[in-house]
Amino acid sequence: MATEGQAGGHGDHVCESMENHHNHICQLITKVTAGEIIDMVDLPGFICENCARAANSAEYLCRPRSLAESGEQEG
């Protein structure tokens, strides 16, 4: 898995916003409880293409993709 300060490191895990990587769910969940990030994930509109975590805002994910766009491309 990519670590803070790396743009990759494990497969195709790439963070599109390394300057904010410390605020992404993949990093926060290692430092806080799930209850502490509930406001970031309770109404998800985006999914991370790296780890498949869902979030309310793209700013909380390394490689965000809109769930609305994902639904349009399927089916």
User: Could you report the per-residue pLDDT of 22-44, keeping only the tens digit for each?
Assistant: 999 999 999 999 899 999 999 99
Report the domain count for the chain.
1
Q: Confirm whether 35 is domain-assigned.
A: yes
Beta strand 64-66 with 54-55 is unpaired
Mean pLDDT throughout 4-15?
Answer: 57
Helix (H, G, I), strand (E, B) or coil at 30: coil
Q: Confirm whether 67 is domain-assigned.
A: yes
Domain that holds residue 57: 18-73
Q: Confirm whether 26 is domain-assigned.
A: yes
**What pTM did the predictor assign?**
0.75
Cβ neighbours around 37 below 10 Å, total: 17
The answer to whether 41 touches 55, Cβ cutoff 8 Å, is yes
| 20/42 Cα distance (integer angstroms) | 21
